[in-house]
Amino acid sequence: MKGFSLGKAFVPIVATITLIYLLLPIAHVILFSFNERRGRNNIMWNGFSLENWMNPCGAPQVCQAFGNSILVGVVATVIATTLGTMIAIALVRYKFKGRSTVSLLLFTPMATPEVVLGAGLAAQFLLAGVEKGIGTIFLAHTMFCISYVVVAVKARVASLNPAIEEAGRDLYASPAQVFWRITLPMLAPGIVGAALLSFALSFDDFIITNFNSGTATTFPKFIYISAMKGVPAQANVLASIVFVSALVLVIVVQTLNIRKQKRLAKV
């Protein structure tokens, strides 16, 4: 064909195939959320039905597990983001003994396989006589989320111009005013990004949760237990809602950023 170049078409073709490959599992989840319910089996397509969307809590324990994941994600994110932000500021702005060691150790949870990390935490809880449950999940998720928050916020802190904060102090602002009115707003994009990453990691975690949850059930653990007989259609409904919500959030944020850039370009 005239004008056709295999070299130019290679990248778009590979990108399209990769995108389809990545989206196929998501399409399967959304499709089977409309599967007609016949017993507990949700592996074979039985027909189109809106019943599952009308009653997303129809499967036993699915909404309880989903609620547990939301609760754990929110609590772990709030604690990890608060502590991680303070640690990141301390590592960048202050000099203290052992700072390099602390920075190195913060990467340990990120580099350690989750199986090893989960087993190690389970052993510590066992030795301490702590009963496993929703509380131990909070502690476990907060522990591994802090590292990601520190890395993300630390990069943001390092990029700040100290002259802006110095200008605030020159205008007789107190240290607290400088932090709340200058430093924190400039750090906000990094903190929000770290918080979203932390929540996503917590909500999605299975391995560490499985080691340290005891009888408590989270959404990923519920999915794993149900997978042998086919994930209940109601679980697919909840997963679809999470996916669509995240997609809408990304679109809204990108739209707002584009509009902001256009307004700045006109100034």
Q: What is the mean pLDDT of residues 52-78?
A: 90
**Residues 6 or more apart whose Cβ sits within 8 Å of residue 196:** none
Alpha-helix residue ranges (DSSP H) falling in the chain: 6-32, 51-54, 62-93, 99-106, 108-111, 114-128, 134-159, 162-170, 175-178, 184-204, 207-212, 219-226, 233-266
User: What Cα–Cα distance (Å) separates residue 194 from each residue in 113, 121, 162?
Assistant: 21, 23, 22
Q: Output the pTM of the full model.
A: 0.83
CATH of 61-229, one of 1.10.3720.10, 1.20.58.220, 3.40.50.970, 3.30.830.10: 1.10.3720.10
pLDDT tens, residue by residue, 23-64: 898 998 888 888 887 666 677 788 888 888 888 888 888 899
Residue with tokens 């994941």: 69
Give the per-residue pLDDT at 56.
Answer: 86
Q: What is the mean pLDDT of residues 105-128?
A: 89
Q: What is the mean pLDDT of residues 195-211?
A: 92
Give the per-residue pLDDT at 87.
Answer: 92
CB 68 within 8 A of CB 216: yes
pLDDT tens, residue by residue, 135-186: 999 999 999 899 999 999 998 888 888 888 888 887 878 888 888 888 888 8
Q: How far is CA 74 from the centre of its chain?
A: 10
Q: Which two tokens stand for residue 141?
A: 């998720």
**Chain region(s) in the chain for CATH 1.10.3720.10:** 61-229
At 80, phi and psi to the nearest 5? -65, -40
In this prediction, residue 3 has a pLDDT band, given cuts at 50, 70 and 90, of low
